[in-house]
């Protein structure tokens, strides 16, 4: 696959073969309490239990594994607020190559520590005044490395789609699939899988209220760029969706909605209290839209991707302790 080809479901299937036996086949969780609350049958794909704590490991490992040996030898570079950073660093460690990650200087300490712990070099930048993509391109050129962006990259998109491929294989066809939306890697990869495996399934992405660039883009029919948003959903604080992602979203995504930070906190608390799992704010985006009635789903079979669980425990405790 070249870096400039829009991926297809065949690429999702190829990615599944590359990550087989490496990425976890994460469990699909259910909750009678949640089902009763919304009057639907909910299936939570628990990517918070994935290696590296998030779905990002799928796309990161697939992207490196797809490189030829000589290209791999130069190492890889990525820019990320945290989950792609950890995932790429972890995948690079498993494949015995060097990684450099460009991270915002306000990234959660837990995510920075984990990224460094996997052996990556970390280069910091100011997300509000500096261009992370430009910095990353310069680093890649200087080090002779391959740049693997967090979402706007075909093999990343294909890898992320394997989570929903597994979901459909586990529970069968669905009426509705809901995933978090940041740059669009997860949503576009998931949409490819949904259209192939459950053609009648509606696909909806969920963004934080403060960062609804994807919603604006889908409504306008072109990629809309916004200032860097501020939200507790740190994994979705992007200024625009990817050029590879948007055509897939236009063709396969039915709607994009938003949720508030307060709804994210309430959803984090629900998962901790009722399902005994830790889900980070970004990972709660899709579930929050369902549990708070932003998306009507009564009587339907609904797949929900919990995209990650990488949240600093002090932050987690402070957030869910608020009433």
CATH number (domain holding residue 251): 3.40.50.1100
**Has this prediction a pTM greater than 0.75?**
yes
* Residue from 118, 115, 83 nearest 101 by CA: 115
**Residue 3, domain member (yes or no):** no
Residues 112-130 pLDDT 10s: 888 999 999 999 999 888 9
**Residue 44: its H or E element:** strand 41-46
**Residue 309 included in any domain:** yes
What was the pLDDT predicted at 127? Answer: 83
Q: How far apart are CA 197 and CA 17, in angstroms?
A: 17
- Residue 307 in any domain: the answer is yes
- Show the domain range for 213: 9-54+153-321
Q: What pLDDT shows up at residue 3?
A: 58
Torsion of CA 221, 213, 248, 301, to 10 degrees: -110
* 58 and 82 Cβ atoms separated by less than 8 Å: no
d(C-alpha 17, C-alpha 2), whole Å: 18
Distances (CA, A) of 20 to 25, 62, 95, 136: 9, 10, 14, 29
Examine residue 206 and state whether it is found in any structural domain, yes or no: yes
Catalytic-residue membership of 136? no
Residue 82's pLDDT is 77
Whether 207 is a known active-site residue: answer yes
Decide which of 106, 123, 147 is a domain's last residue: 147
Which residue is catalytic, options 11, 155, 166, 213?
Answer: 213
Residues 94 and 201 occupy one common structural domain: no
Q: Do 164 and 282 sit in the same domain of this protein?
A: yes
Catalytic residue list contains 188: no
Q: Pick the catalytic residue: 52, 198, 307, 308? A: 307
Catalytic annotation, pick one of 211, 214, 283, 303: 211
Pair 217, 270 in one domain: yes
Same domain, 114 and 75: yes
Same domain, 45 and 111: no
pLDDT tens digit sequence for 224-240: 999 989 999 988 989 99
**Residue 141's Cα: distance from chain center in Å?**
26
- Looking at the fold, whether 219 and 290 belong to one and the same domain comes out as yes
List the catalytic residue out of 81, 190, 198, 217: 81
Residue 130 annotated as catalytic: no
Sign of torsion over alpha carbons 79, 206, 234, 61: negative
Same domain as 207, residue 67: no
Which among 119, 147, 175 is the end of a domain?
Answer: 147
d(CA 10, CA 161): 11
Q: What is the pLDDT of residue 2?
A: 45
4 inside domain = no
Q: Do the domain assignments include residue 270?
A: yes
Strand order in the sheet with 41-46: 28-29, 41-46, 301-306, 176-180, 202-208, 255-259
Residues 63 and 172 grouped into a single domain: no
Tell me, yes or no, whether 167 lies in a domain. yes
Report if residue 2 sits inside a domain. Answer: no
Question: Are 315 and 168 in the same domain?
Answer: yes
Q: What is the domain count for the chain?
A: 2
Q: Which of 95, 128, 147 is the last residue of a domain?
A: 147
pLDDT in tens, the chain (323 residues): 445 689 999 999 999 999 999 999 999 999 999 999 999 999 999 999 999 999 999 999 999 999 999 999 999 999 987 789 889 999 999 999 999 999 989 887 888 888 999 999 999 999 888 998 899 999 999 999 999 999 999 999 999 999 999 999 999 999 999 999 999 999 999 999 999 999 999 999 999 999 999 999 999 999 999 998 999 998 898 999 999 999 999 999 999 999 999 999 999 999 999 999 999 999 999 999 999 999 999 999 999 999 999 998 999 999 998 76
Whether residue 17 sits in one domain with residue 113? no
Of these residues, 207, 235, 242, 308, which one is catalytic?
207
Contact 247, 6 (CB under 8 A): yes
Same domain? 69 vs 193: no
Residue 124 confidence (pLDDT): 95
- Considering the domain architecture, whether residues 49 and 62 belong to the same structural domain is answered as no
């Amino acid at each position: 696959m070249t870096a400039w080809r829009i991926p297809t479901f065949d690429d999702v299937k190829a990615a599944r073969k590359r990550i087989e036996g490496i990425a976890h086949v994460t469990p699909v969780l259910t909750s009678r309490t949640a089902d009763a609350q919304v009057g639907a049958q909910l299936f939570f794909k628990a990517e918070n239990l994935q290696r590296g704590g998030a779905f990002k490991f799928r796309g990161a490992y697939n992207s490196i594994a797809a490189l030829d040996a000589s290209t791999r030898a130069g190492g890889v570079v990525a820019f990320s607020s945290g989950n792609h950073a950890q995932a790429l660093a972890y995948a690079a460690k498993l494949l015995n190559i060097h990684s450099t990650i460009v991270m915002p200087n306000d990234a959660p300490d837990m995510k920075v520590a984990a990224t460094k712990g996997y052996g990556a070099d970390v280069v910091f930048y100011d997300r509000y005044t500096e261009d992370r993509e430009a910095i990353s391109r310069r680093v890649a050129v200087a080090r002779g490395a391959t740049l693997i962006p967090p979402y706007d990259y075909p093999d990343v998109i294909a890898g992320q789609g394997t989570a929903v491929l597994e979901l459909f294989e586990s529970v069968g066809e669905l009426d509705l699939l809901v995933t978090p939306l940041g740059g669009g890697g997860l949503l576009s990869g998931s949409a490819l899988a949904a259209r192939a495996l459950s053609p009648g399934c509606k696909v909806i992405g969920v963004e934080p209220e403060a960062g609804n660039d994807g919603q604006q883009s889908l409504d306008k029919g072109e990629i809309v760029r916004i200032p860097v948003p501020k939200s507790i959903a740190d994994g979705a604080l992007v200024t625009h969706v990817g050029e590879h992602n948007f055509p897939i979203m236009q063709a396969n995504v039915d709607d994009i909605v938003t949720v508030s930070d307060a709804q994210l906190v309430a959803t984090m608390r629900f998962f901790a209290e009722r399902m005994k799992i830790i889900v980070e704010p970004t990972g709660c985006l899709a579930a929050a839209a369902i549990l708070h009635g932003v998306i009507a789903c009564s009587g339907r079979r609904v797949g929900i991707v919990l995209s990650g669980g990488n949240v600093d425990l002090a932050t987690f405790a402070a957030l869910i302790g608020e009433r």
